[in-house]
A and B are shown apart, each in its own frame.
Chain A
Amino acid sequence: MRETAILPWQRLKTDIQRRLRGRGALPWLVPVLILAIWQIAVQAGWLSTRILPTPWAVVTAGWRLLLSGELLEHLGASTARAASGFVIGGGIGFFFGLINGGYRLAENLFDTTLQMVRNVPHLALIPLVILWFGIGEEGKLFLVALGVFFPVYLNTFHGIRSVPPDLIEMGRSYGLRGWALFRQVILPGALPNILVGVRYALGFTWLTLIVAETISATSGIGYMAMNAREFLQTDIVVLAILLYAALGKAADMVARALERRWLRWNKSFLAA
């Protein structure tokens, strides 16, 4: 009967203590502290609002843009570019990873070429891309697709190669051929590596997009940031930076959710 006697505030206190003792709240302590110091520093005038707005100002700017509909419009434009570039580049990378991983002939034919192209930093192509495509959508898609291509290609290739030959031999001797062998043995065996490639590629997607949108765009988060810069709206610039971070994190979470779903059988992925 003694448990029922515990007062609500006592329960709250033990809850907080437990959270602090476990990992619960502790990792958030430092970020919260930094935000607090930041807010105080700007409010007290130690830091000019030209350099950094207060965190609160960033939040209100976000709210304002959300209400006006601008935020969603730019967010939508950026997400659409990221998604289509990712699908195109990832799709081509996946295709080449599959055929080069699966067939020696294809590897001999394409791999050296692809490895040479890989050594060109894709962002170095920007001047050329602007010459080719102008400042329209195509150039940005091209850059994103190129950035996404290599991580997906390399990891798919490696994944296919690292499927244990014992399992493939077993599959064959149990009557699996062609598509059935690929779908039931090779692809699931390569999947852990492919998903690693997807996660890397998502990182590249946003990185490329940031650069491409700040150089030439009429919509998107990068455009929003550049526009704000012209009018010295540091709050919106910081908001744009944080939005990129949030989008990157969201994409990573999607990839990890896929890993958890598709790699349930693999203990090392369950732990991650």
Chain B
Amino acid sequence: MVPTAYYLILAAMLFSIGIGAFLIKRNVITIFISIELMLNAVNLTFVAFAHMWHQVNGQIFVFFVMVVAAAEAAVGLAIIISIFRTRRTLNVDEINLMKS
């Protein structure tokens, strides 16, 4: 028997690490990876709550999050590839065309 709060705290830890990585990392791909980590942390809370309320709605929500993450990864990686083609770099500090 594990209190649901433990799962939620684990999810909170993963989410905060995701935020930290999102802010610290300078590589576009790694930033994208930390977004995925945050999505996963949120999914864990959904599954824990679904278990707590004995309803599958939370699991359905996770399913939709996965689908959206797949679509997001496809488009995001395509964007990263086209950025790399034009700018020859993956460092977010050097991708500053709009800043003039």
A, B assembled together = no
Binding site for B on A (CB under 8 A): none
